[in-house]
Amino acid sequence: MKTNTIFLSPDEMPRQWYNILADIKMNPPLGPDGKPVTPEMLAPVFPMNLIEQEVSTERWITIPDEVMNIYSIWRPSPLIRAVNFEKALGTPAKIYYKNESVSPAGSHKPNTAVPQAYYNKVFGIKKLTTETGAGQWGSALSFACSQIGLECKIYMVRISFDQKPYRKAQMQAWGGKCVASPSNETNAGRAILAKDPNTPGSLGIAISEAVEAAVSDTTGQTRYALGSVLNHVMLHQTVIGLEAKKQLEKTGDYPDIVIGCAGGGSNFAGIAFPFVSDKMHGKKVEIYPVEPIACPTLTRGPFVYDHGDTARYTPLLAMHSLGHAFVPPPVHAGGLRYHGMSPIVSQLVTENLLTPKAVSQIDAFKAGVLFARTEGMIPAPESNHAIAQVVIEANRAKETGEKKVILFNLSGHGLLDLGSYEKYFANELDNYAISDEDLAKSEAVFKDFPKPQLLKSI
């Protein structure tokens, strides 16, 4: 039978994650004293086995059997040739996409939620805390904890908690306990509520509450989990790109261009890093992280030392940043509303191994709707940004007549984001382009911090 889907059998699944820290040098995270942080300083927040993984430079790290078993609920995920989308664009390019929307939580997030829950369990932890904005990460961690057997507590930004009751119910269906943040359950939350009882909350506040809840459990059996940015999160996501490489091998194609949307960087890293490694070893391939013009961390933010959170609880990370005080405009791609970027992705940009792109919210939805009408899947608003860049590349190939092979990551479906599509159809979306003055103001917060070195690994 003719099919546009390139399947992998379960036996062909990658059994190891690819650790790109084997290939590159990195500026270390710095503590409040300006010196590199030690593993011990992170021990109250993360379990030691994950801290070790965070700094490991082993090239291949074996995926534990229990994680493989849970991955098998939805993995290997399909690689699909977007034939109808190609036809609609009239392009000679071949467009392939990796469909990460097939997980129970509907995105790539469970790829790291499951191993994070697993390593915590192995370390003897009973409960995980986390924050969530729009709800993708909170629901993925709830799913993972239900599979592994951990309690899960999620601090969800108040405005999203009220606007998106479906997400809360989804977490609850998997046994996760979700409260609106700021809450009355933490010192951080109570302090903010005392000042402003009607605050809509923020990711920065929610992180503060989740970290406080983890470190203040006197039994020592609670830890905090993060869904992006950190090295071990990028590591776990490489299963996406490793599968995609095997699937592409079956077609005889190798990508000229690899594309993923980038907020904290995790789905992008997942599809891209195995190809970045090829590129370092001489292969010719263009690799584009795509962000919203409303939050242009890689395209307009400098490579600096800055905090990962608004409240400055985290170490200083060497990364592209718009400043930890930057509040991104309310674009519907909630997963791309982050002031900073994965330090590894940032380092690869400084080495010119990646070429960042930015697209507007309206172009993103326009591309996403064309994709839905031709390929059948309704993409998440985040994924629409990758698709908009695919459209640009496909149109360029049409002009030049080049038969480019384009691979992109469909990071998630948009079924719990259909409200944003409704606003698109009603012409109620804004692009939220931001001014140089606003950026300069936001970036002022890190001007006195140490400067990272411009390392070259290759």
According to CB under 8 A, which one of 56, 146, 163, 457 is a site residue for a copy of itself? 146
Q: How many CA atoms lie within 13 A of 12 on its CB side?
A: 16
194 touches a copy of itself by CB under 8 A:
no
- Quick one: tokens of 153? 């507590």
According to CB under 8 A, which one of 47, 104, 334, 356 is a site residue for a copy of itself? 104
**Number of neighbours of residue 458 by Cβ within 10 angstroms:** 10
Closest to a copy of itself by CB, 140 vs 271, is: 140
Q: Which residues contact 48 (CB under 8 A, 6 or more apart)?
A: 39, 123
For residues 453 and 458, what is the distance between their CA atoms, to the nearest angstrom?
15
For residues 407 and 94, what is the distance between their CA atoms, to the nearest angstrom?
8
Q: Which residues contact 193 (CB under 8 A, 6 or more apart)?
A: 182, 183, 184, 199
- Of 63-71, 279-287, 428-436, 442-450, the window that binds a copy of itself (rule: CB under 8 A) is 63-71
Closest to a copy of itself by CB, 7 vs 438, is: 7
Q: How far is the CB of 240 from a copy of itself (least distance, A)?
A: 17
Nearest to 275 by CA among 314, 311, 248: 248
Q: How far is the CB of 175 from a copy of itself (least distance, A)?
A: 5
- Of 9-17, 126-134, 184-192, 352-360, the window that binds a copy of itself (rule: CB under 8 A) is 9-17
Angle 296-159-325 (CA atoms, 0-180°, nearest 5)? 40
Closest to a copy of itself by CB, 4 vs 355, is: 4
According to CB under 8 A, which one of 179, 235, 377, 445 is a site residue for a copy of itself? 377
- For the window 14-53, what string marks contact with a copy of itself as x by the rule CB under 8 A? -x--------------------------------------
- Of 7-15, 187-195, 330-338, 394-402, the window that binds a copy of itself (rule: CB under 8 A) is 7-15
> For 338, which DSSP code?
-
219 touches a copy of itself by CB under 8 A:
no
For residues 11 and 321, what is the distance between their CA atoms, to the nearest angstrom?
41
For residues 216 and 219, what is the distance between their CA atoms, to the nearest angstrom?
9
Are the C-beta atoms of 18 and 273 separated by less than 8 Å?
yes
- Quick one: tokens of 75? 């993995």
428 touches a copy of itself by CB under 8 A:
no
According to CB under 8 A, which one of 44, 175, 329, 450 is a site residue for a copy of itself? 175
User: Within 69-88, which residues bind a copy of itself (CB under 8 A)?
Assistant: 69-70, 72-74, 80, 84
96 touches a copy of itself by CB under 8 A:
no
- Of 45-53, 237-245, 289-297, 420-428, the window that binds a copy of itself (rule: CB under 8 A) is 420-428
Q: What share of the chain is helix, strand, coil (3-state, %, to 5)?
A: 45, 15, 40
For residues 204 and 209, what is the distance between their CA atoms, to the nearest angstrom?
9
Tell me the residue type at 65: D
According to CB under 8 A, which one of 5, 62, 251, 355 is a site residue for a copy of itself? 5
Q: How far is the CB of 314 from a copy of itself (least distance, A)?
A: 31
Are the C-beta atoms of 245 and 253 separated by less than 8 Å?
no
174 touches a copy of itself by CB under 8 A:
yes
Q: How far is the CB of 120 from a copy of itself (least distance, A)?
A: 18
177 touches a copy of itself by CB under 8 A:
no
Alpha helices in 64-186 (DSSP H): 65-71, 83-89, 110-122, 136-148, 158-163, 165-173
- Of 125-133, 234-242, 264-272, 414-422, the window that binds a copy of itself (rule: CB under 8 A) is 414-422
135 touches a copy of itself by CB under 8 A:
no
Closest to a copy of itself by CB, 372 vs 407, is: 372
According to CB under 8 A, which one of 29, 106, 263, 274 is a site residue for a copy of itself? 106
For residues 63 and 151, what is the distance between their CA atoms, to the nearest angstrom?
23
Closest to a copy of itself by CB, 106 vs 308, is: 106
Provide DSSP, 236-276: HHHHHHHHHHHHHHHHT---SEEEEE-SSSHHHHHHHHHHH
250 touches a copy of itself by CB under 8 A:
no
* Interface residues toward a copy of itself, by CB under 8 A: 1-5, 7, 9-11, 13, 15, 65, 68-70, 72-74, 80, 84, 102, 104, 106, 143, 146-147, 165-170, 172-175, 369, 372-378, 414-416, 418-419, 421-422, 425
